[in-house]
Copies of this chain bind each other. A is one copy, B any other.
Amino acid sequence: MHISKRAQDIQASPIRKLKPYADQAISEGVRVYFINIGQPDIKTPDPVWNAFKKGKEEVLEYGPAQGILDLRKSIAGYFNLYNIPVTHENVIITIGGSEAIHFSFSAVADNGEEIIIPEPFYTNYNGYAAFANVKIAPLTLDVKNGFRLPPKKDIEQTITSKTRAILLCSPNNPTGTVYTAEELERVIDVVKKHDLFLIADEVYKEFVYDGYSHKSILEYEEIKDRAIVVDSISKRFSCCGARIGAVITRNPEVYNGILKFAQARLCPPTLEQKAALEAYRMGVGYFESVRKEYQKRRDILFEGLKDFPGIVMHKPQGAFYIIVRLPIKDSEHFVRWMLTDFRFENETVMVAPAQGFYCTPGKGMDEVRIAYVLKEENLKRAIKVFKAGLKKYRSLF
């Protein structure tokens, strides 16, 4: 009697691993600024809260496996606003973007098959790849050039006979990079040439700054059958705890496969879907102020860090993360030290060591991810404390 290999092999969350040190600091009365995870402090909109209160029903029933019809229509309508021709029949509601990832991986790849993902990447791809017995083939990017995609031939070099898909996340977690149309088209050429699926994690779609806008892979008719979009309301409407996401695809085979996965788990939570529906009903006007707020925070963070000697980073174009190369050797040690040893007027900061965002061993050791998820005042203070900590750390190690 022993547990399965996959239960042994699946990586523990590298971000959550350090959480006990933060909890310990808090229990000692220290204020900890959390800029390590993507939990925004933006208020969840009132229509979402109100949806939970509205219309008490007799029985909190199962809903359809593919999600409630009105929400599927509403999400299709949201994409239509961006001239993306999808209908509710292309939308399956999932339990968070997490399940959308899990379902997409499982629909395109069998055991031991590969999905190419530019690294650094969102840690949870690792978890779901392990859980689904799929291998991630990393395409390593570099902070020095702002994590831009490499030339076509470099992308093609990561393809093997086992490759089934390429996954792009844009706006990117953890880098903040937004791929240009030219970069997307480079990858589209590759998936067409090598007969692959293209999975796009577009959950940060609304968070693109400096007047630019997001381009979805669903806009490309030529890969209509290859495109699978992973989506979520968690960040879009600051509802991380609602666990509502979606898969959008115009490939009927992929759709039906995912629908069968969805049937096995019965349905997503019913009330949360109604709340999500109210969120979409607010219309896209809602995003303007949120976008402005994040852009302001990005600028505060970027300006606040840029003069620190030895730092390498690139101004993020979207999402609310940045990967920063620091003049240190072991960012996990640094992050832990900040929590256990460093205090600045009884305050400290938690950032995320970047190793967890790479699957190539040894990568990201001198990098951290910072999430600009705090209000201006708190973010400014967090940067101040962070820089004081980094300075002290460099003098000690």
What residues of B have a CB within 8 angstroms of the CB of A40 in the complex? Answer: 59
Which residues 141-188 of A sit at the B interface, judged by CB distance below 8 A? Answer: 164
User: Across the interface, do B254 and A7 meet the contact criterion of CB distance under 8 Å?
Assistant: yes
Cα distance A346–B133 when bound, in Å?
51
A120 at the B interface (CB under 8 A)? no
User: Across the interface, do B265 and A102 meet the contact criterion of CB distance under 8 Å?
Assistant: yes
A272 at the B interface (CB under 8 A)? yes
User: Across the interface, do B6 and A110 meet the contact criterion of CB distance under 8 Å?
Assistant: yes
What residues of B have a CB within 8 angstroms of the CB of A6 in the complex? Answer: 106, 110
CB within 8 Å for A13 and B65 given contacts A1-B196, A49-B56: yes
A335 at the B interface (CB under 8 A)? no
User: Across the interface, do A39 and B10 meet the contact criterion of CB distance under 8 Å?
Assistant: no
User: Across the interface, do A10 and B243 meet the contact criterion of CB distance under 8 Å?
Assistant: no
Which residues 17-50 of A sit at the B interface, judged by CB distance below 8 A? Answer: 37, 39-44, 48-49
Which residues 216-271 of A sit at the B interface, judged by CB distance below 8 A? Answer: 225-226, 238-243, 253-254, 257-261, 263-271
User: Across the interface, do B7 and A257 meet the contact criterion of CB distance under 8 Å?
Assistant: yes
Q: Taking the nearest CB of chain B, how far is it from the CB of A252, in angstroms? A: 10
What residues of B have a CB within 8 angstroms of the CB of A37 in the complex? Answer: 62
Of A83-91, A123-131, A280-288, A326-334, the one touching chain B = A123-131
Q: Taking the nearest CB of chain B, how far is it from the CB of A251, in angstroms? A: 8
Cα distance A78–B222 when bound, in Å?
56
Contact of A195 among B1, B62, B130 (CB under 8 A): B1
What residues of B have a CB within 8 angstroms of the CB of A108 in the complex? Answer: 3-4, 7
What residues of B have a CB within 8 angstroms of the CB of A48 in the complex? Answer: 60
A359 at the B interface (CB under 8 A)? no
Cα distance A181–B102 when bound, in Å?
39
A98 at the B interface (CB under 8 A)? yes
Q: Taking the nearest CB of chain B, how far is it from the CB of A236, in angstroms? A: 13
**Chain A interface residue number, banded:** 35 or more
Contact of A260 among B7, B43, B53, B226 (CB under 8 A): B7
A107 at the B interface (CB under 8 A)? yes
A12 at the B interface (CB under 8 A)? yes
CB within 8 Å for A110 and B60 given contacts A16-B65, A99-B265, A269-B241: no
Cα distance A12–B267 when bound, in Å?
14
User: Across the interface, do B240 and A61 meet the contact criterion of CB distance under 8 Å?
Assistant: yes
What residues of B have a CB within 8 angstroms of the CB of A195 in the complex? Answer: 1
Cα distance A127–B261 when bound, in Å?
7
A320 at the B interface (CB under 8 A)? no
Contact of A269 among B63, B131, B243 (CB under 8 A): B243
A137 at the B interface (CB under 8 A)? no
What residues of B have a CB within 8 angstroms of the CB of A268 in the complex? Answer: 243
Chain A residues with CB under 8 Å of chain B are 1-8, 10-13, 16, 37, 39-44, 48-49, 52-53, 56-63, 65, 95-96, 98-99, 102, 106-111, 113, 124, 126-128, 130-131, 133, 164, 195-197, 225-226, 238-243, 253-254, 257-261, 263-272
**Which 10 interchain pairs have the tightest Cβ spacing?**
A127-B264, A7-B257, A241-B270, A13-B263, A98-B265, A52-B52, A60-B241, A44-B60, A7-B107, A243-B269
Query: What are 28 A-B residue pairs whose CB atoms fall within 8 Å in the complex?
Result: A1-B196, A1-B225, A3-B107, A4-B110, A6-B110, A7-B107, A7-B257, A7-B261, A8-B257, A10-B257, A10-B260, A10-B261, A41-B59, A52-B271, A60-B239, A61-B241, A98-B264, A102-B265, A124-B264, A127-B260, A127-B261, A127-B264, A128-B264, A131-B264, A241-B271, A269-B272, A271-B271, A271-B272
Contacts A12-B259, A99-B265 aside, 10 further interface pairs with beta carbons under 8 A come to: A4-B164, A7-B108, A13-B263, A44-B58, A60-B241, A62-B240, A62-B241, A63-B241, A95-B269, A243-B266
